[in-house]
């Protein structure tokens, strides 16, 4: 690929809801720019952007893909992001690595949940944006309605092109910037029957541009018009300063509207020098693109191939990077040396000698580099703020289908987690289960399929166990724990008297030695404590650990010959079990602190659902156009909440939860849990 100046570099992400044609638009842009010999098709499996077997089977983007290409002296890098809510977080991670966003919405359905969510993320990052109303060849296409839906979604939109016809009558578009029609990919005069509509739309564009600049507005009000050069220059400034989002009319499948859009991407979008600066890790500074500054970059994607190894995708922020360069991973404080630099073209890679600010390149086998990490020079580097990684919302217990494959399964899972940072593998110390956490059920299922395809590793997913606890609500005083065993020769003898009483929540198990007068020899009292603590690992109700209990050892008996550590350990165990059973045992459940974000019109439904899950709403607060519901809800009621919230809100809701505390299970729920646990233990025995 040719060397280009940083001012001629453009990078943008295709964002939006699933099935609105982002990938198809990307394929059309690539073909129009001469980067591909033919227009790839998602449906036929020839897409150069959706190339994984899972993507080709499902006909949907599941992971961000990168394609760099040259056009008319510019270097453009396109990042195609997923629209499905299960995988959209991959797009959130990619957005900080680009200089602009191209929001694609359906001409038939307008802006949807995924459109609004991705637009919001781009606005949070202060990215310049253009919008595309795609699929204008479809029967229900309505350009005006789709445009209005963009306004409702919070975009300051203005038409930059309008369609000629609609549905099966779509024949081209009018580019309002150049005031030319494009039919069959060729520029020509605007048809007579479109002249009035084009003139009115051009007037709206000129007025919108004028309103973004005081000098232009003054001239516009005085003269009633602006010359073409002023409009073009004003539109560039308005887009790059995030004041306007120009909207383009396209049918990617028919190749309509692609040429003016491609021109606009090079003319309107900012270069790396003009995008918003990057934040520093210190939180008190920022850095703009500068080829003379020390090297700094962000890792925004990791790709692992079982044969070619690991590829780390870098957005270079400042400085220049040559192959075989020593660098510092500032996020993990590790040093490594970079190998060959690769420009990425979908599945293909092309080696380049160096890269500079704004370039997006891949590097193979970078030691200890993970998605989100900030890289810099070994000495005197610039430490960028790392890219935040969204937390998963759904967990499954995961285990190898065959016990002999356990090592292979968890090695393979580790590689997938490295590639997809929105996956998280952990072990619950309370239940002993391995938990795989991700962004949704489909995310989990696709991960399982990739395990099977890439590593021949078969796993089972199950709803995770709830880590219940047992405790007591009363006191049992002076409970005897006794072991007396005589079988000829030396026997076993130990007696302890225990008082068992409740502790406040979070108190654990506390053992108190109150022995006086040598009733139990000092060297044997630790054996009593050990018996108590081991017995506390499985309570009498359902076999869950016992917590929040104080055990006072107040008296005992011993035999000079037959008493030993084992005898007193068993005596302590017997006494503790008897004491807990006498002290009115009950069940505790983990309570989660949930924060649920929903649009105003779904607040009532969500709050009602929280109450039906035995949750307690603490408060609500406005956050932008949404309401945030803060509640405490039992974990048992939240295991599959991600799917329920999607159903309740049509995919517009989001939530986050973390452990809060343990609380007593209501009697009616406790009896069901205990009965189920006893059935399971009976079946196992």
Q: Give yes or no for a contact between 295 and 374, defined as CB atoms under 8 angstroms apart.
A: no
- The CA–CA distances, whole Å, from 126 to 63, 79, 122, 129, 523 equal 23, 17, 6, 9, 69
Which residue do the tokens 């395809």 mark? 453
Burial of 31: CB neighbours in 10 Å, binned 0-12, 13-18, 19+: middle
Co-location of 537 and 630 in the same domain: no
CA-based diameter of the chain, in Å?
117
Model confidence at 653, pLDDT cuts 50, 70, 90, reads: confident
Number of domains in the chain: 5
Q: Give yes or no for a contact between 65 and 49, defined as CB atoms under 8 angstroms apart.
A: yes
In a domain, 1, yes or no: no
From 142-151, 166-175, 336-345, the region with the lowest mean pLDDT: 336-345
The 10s digit of each residue's pLDDT in 443-452 is 999 999 999 9
Instruction: State which of 344, 377, 410 marks the end of a domain.
Output: 377
**In this predicted structure, what is the pLDDT of residue 683?**
83
**In this predicted structure, what is the pLDDT of residue 393?**
78
Whether residue 185 is predicted with pLDDT greater than 90 in this model: the reply is no
Co-location of 25 and 101 in the same domain: yes
**In this predicted structure, what is the pLDDT of residue 55?**
93
Whole-prediction pTM value? Answer: 0.83
Q: What is the DSSP letter of 621?
A: E
Please give the distance of CA 44 from its chain centroid, rounded to a whole number.
Answer: 29
Instruction: State which of 324, 343, 377 marks the end of a domain.
Output: 377
Co-location of 246 and 147 in the same domain: yes
**In this predicted structure, what is the pLDDT of residue 488?**
66
- The CA–CA distances, whole Å, from 675 to 211, 536, 547, 582 equal 70, 20, 20, 20
- The CA–CA distances, whole Å, from 650 to 113, 501, 601, 645 equal 8, 49, 11, 8
Which residue do the tokens 């299922």 mark? 445
The 10s digit of each residue's pLDDT in 271-295 is 999 999 999 998 888 999 998 999 9
368: left (phi over 0), alpha (psi -120 to 50) or beta: left
473: left (phi over 0), alpha (psi -120 to 50) or beta: alpha
Average pLDDT on 409-419 reads 90
> What's the length of the chain?
685
**In this predicted structure, what is the pLDDT of residue 658?**
81
SS3 assignment for 625-648: CEEEEEEEEEHHHCCCHHHHHHHH
Give the Cα separation of 171 and 190 in Å (integer): 12
**In this predicted structure, what is the pLDDT of residue 625?**
67
In a domain, 205, yes or no: yes
Average pLDDT on 520-547 reads 94
**CATH number of the CATH domain containing 400:** 3.30.70.870
Model confidence at 316, pLDDT cuts 50, 70, 90, reads: very high
Instruction: State which of 430, 462, 494 marks the end of a domain.
Output: 462
In a domain, 320, yes or no: yes
In a domain, 33, yes or no: yes
Q: Are strands 469-472 and 9-16 parallel, antiparallel or unpaired?
A: unpaired
Give the Cα separation of 503 and 144 in Å (integer): 66
Give the Cα separation of 251 and 268 in Å (integer): 21
Burial of 490: CB neighbours in 10 Å, binned 0-12, 13-18, 19+: exposed
Which residue do the tokens 């993507």 mark? 55
Q: Give yes or no for a contact between 501 and 549, defined as CB atoms under 8 angstroms apart.
A: yes
Give the Cα separation of 34 and 70 in Å (integer): 9
Beta-sheet strands, E only, within 21-94: 65-71, 74-80
Co-location of 41 and 175 in the same domain: yes
Whether residue 208 is predicted with pLDDT greater than 70 in this model: the reply is yes
Long-range Cβ contact pairs of 320-325 (< 8 A, separation 24 or more): 320/291, 320/295, 320/354, 320/355, 320/356, 321/295, 321/297, 321/354, 321/355, 321/356, 321/361, 322/353, 322/354, 323/353, 323/354, 325/295
Domain that holds residue 507: 470-583
Co-location of 554 and 593 in the same domain: no
The 10s digit of each residue's pLDDT in 132-164 is 999 999 999 999 999 999 998 889 999 999 999
In a domain, 371, yes or no: yes
Co-location of 89 and 31 in the same domain: yes
Model confidence at 334, pLDDT cuts 50, 70, 90, reads: very high
Co-location of 61 and 206 in the same domain: yes
In a domain, 342, yes or no: yes
Tokens representing 656 are: 């986050």
Percent of the chain with pLDDT over 70: 98
If you write DSSP's letter for every residue of 408-458 in order, what string do you get? Answer: HHHHHHHHHHHH-TT-EEEE-TTT--EEEEESSHHHHHHHHHHHHHHH---
Give the Cα separation of 514 and 541 in Å (integer): 28
Q: Are strands 161-164 and 278-279 parallel, antiparallel or unpaired?
A: unpaired
Co-location of 497 and 526 in the same domain: yes
Co-location of 148 and 213 in the same domain: yes
Co-location of 428 and 485 in the same domain: no
**In this predicted structure, what is the pLDDT of residue 451?**
92
**In this predicted structure, what is the pLDDT of residue 2?**
64
Rg of the Cα atoms in the chain:
32
**CATH number of the CATH domain containing 127:** 3.40.50.300
Co-location of 516 and 626 in the same domain: no
**In this predicted structure, what is the pLDDT of residue 339?**
84
The 10s digit of each residue's pLDDT in 593-640 is 988 988 888 999 999 999 999 999 999 988 766 788 999 999 999 988
The 10s digit of each residue's pLDDT in 59-87 is 999 999 999 999 999 999 999 999 988 89
In a domain, 547, yes or no: yes
Dihedral angle over CA of 358, 2, 341, 42, nearest 10: 80
Give the Cα separation of 395 and 425 in Å (integer): 9
In a domain, 286, yes or no: no
> What three-state secondary structure class fits 200?
helix
Count of Cβ atoms closer than 10 Å to residue 201 Cβ: 18
Average pLDDT, the chain: 92
Co-location of 480 and 441 in the same domain: no
């Amino acid at each position: 690929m040719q060397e280009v100046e940083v001012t001629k570099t453009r990078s943008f992400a295709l964002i939006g809801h699933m099935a609105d044609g982002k990938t198809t638009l990307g394929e059309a842009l690539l073909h129009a720019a001469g980067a591909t010999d033919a227009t790839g098709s998602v449906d036929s499996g020839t897409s150069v952007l959706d190339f994984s077997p899972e993507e080709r089977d499902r006909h949907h983007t599941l992971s961000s893909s990168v394609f760099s290409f040259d056009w008319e002296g510019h270097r453009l890098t396109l990042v195609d992001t997923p629209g499905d809510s299960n995988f959209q977080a991959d797009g959130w991670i990619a957005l900080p690595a680009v200089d602009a966003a191209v929001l694609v919405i359906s001409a038939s359905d307008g802006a949807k949940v995924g459109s609004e969510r991705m637009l919001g993320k781009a606005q949070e990052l202060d990215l310049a944006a253009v919008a595309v109303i795609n699929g204008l060849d479809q029967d229900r296409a309505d350009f005006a309605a789709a445009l209005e839906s963009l306004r409702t979604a919070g975009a300051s939109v203005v038409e930059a092109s309008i369609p000629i016809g609609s549905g099966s009558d779509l024949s081209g578009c009018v580019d309002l910037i150049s005031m030319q029609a494009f039919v069959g990919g060729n520029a020509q005069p605007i048809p007579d029957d479109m002249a009035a509509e084009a003139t009115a739309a051009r007037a709206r564009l000129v007025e919108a541009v004028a309103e973004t600049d005081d000098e232009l507005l003054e001239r516009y009000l005085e003269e009633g018009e602006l010359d073409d050069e002023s409009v073009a220059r004003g539109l560039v400034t308005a887009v790059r300063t995030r004041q306007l989002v120009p909207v383009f009319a396209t049918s990617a499948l028919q190749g309509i509207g692609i040429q003016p859009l491609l021109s606009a991407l090079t003319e309107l979008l900012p270069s790396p020098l003009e995008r918003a600066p990057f934040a520093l890790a210190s939180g008190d500074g920022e850095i703009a693109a500068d080829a003379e500054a020390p090297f700094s970059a962000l890792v925004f994607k990791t790709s692992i191939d079982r044969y070619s190894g690991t590829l780390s995708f870098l957005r270079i922020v400042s400085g220049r990077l040559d192959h075989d360069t020593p660098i510092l991973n500032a996020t993990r404080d590790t040093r490594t040396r970079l190998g060959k630099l690769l420009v990425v073209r979908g599945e293909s890679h092309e080696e380049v000698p160096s890269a500079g600010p704004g370039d997006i390149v891949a590097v193979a086998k970078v030691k200890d580099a993970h998605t989100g990490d900030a890289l810099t020079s070994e000495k005197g580097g610039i430490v960028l703020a790392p890219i935040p990684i969204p937390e998963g919302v759904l967990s499954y217990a995961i285990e190898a289908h065959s016990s002999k494959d356990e090592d292979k399964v968890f090695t393979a899972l580790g590689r997938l987690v490295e590639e997809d940072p929105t996956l998280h593998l952990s072990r619950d110390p309370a239940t002993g289960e391995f938990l795989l956490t991700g962004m949704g059920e489909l995310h989990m299922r696709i991960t399982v399929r990739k395990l099977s395809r890439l590593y021949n590793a078969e796993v089972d997913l199950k709803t995770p166990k709830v880590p219940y606890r047992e405790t007591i609500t009363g006191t049992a005083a002076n409970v005897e724990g006794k072991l007396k065993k005589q079988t000829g020769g030396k026997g076993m003898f130990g007696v302890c008297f225990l008082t068992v009483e409740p502790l406040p929540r979070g108190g654990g198990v506390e053992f108190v030695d109150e022995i006086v007068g040598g009733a139990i020899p000092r060297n044997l009292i630790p054996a009593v404590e050990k018996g108590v603590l081991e017995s506390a690992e499985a309570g009498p109700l359902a076999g869950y650990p016992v917590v929040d209990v104080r055990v006072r050892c107040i008296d005992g008996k011993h035999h000079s010959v037959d008493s030993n550590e084992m005898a007193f350990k068993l005596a302590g165990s017997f006494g503790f079990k008897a004491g807990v059973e006498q002290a009115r045992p009950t069940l505790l459940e983990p309570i989660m602190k949930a924060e649920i974000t929903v649009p105003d019109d779904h607040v009532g439904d969500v709050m009602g659902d929280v109450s039906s899950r035995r949750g307690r709403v603490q408060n609500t607060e406005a956050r932008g156009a949404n309401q945030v519901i803060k509640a405490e809800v039992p974990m048992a009621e939240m295991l599959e909440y991600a799917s329920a919230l999607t159903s309740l809100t049509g995919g517009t809701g989001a939530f986050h939860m973390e452990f809060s505390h343990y609380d007593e299970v209501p009697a009616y729920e406790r009896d069901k849990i205990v009965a189920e646990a006893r059935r399971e233990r009976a079946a196992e025995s």
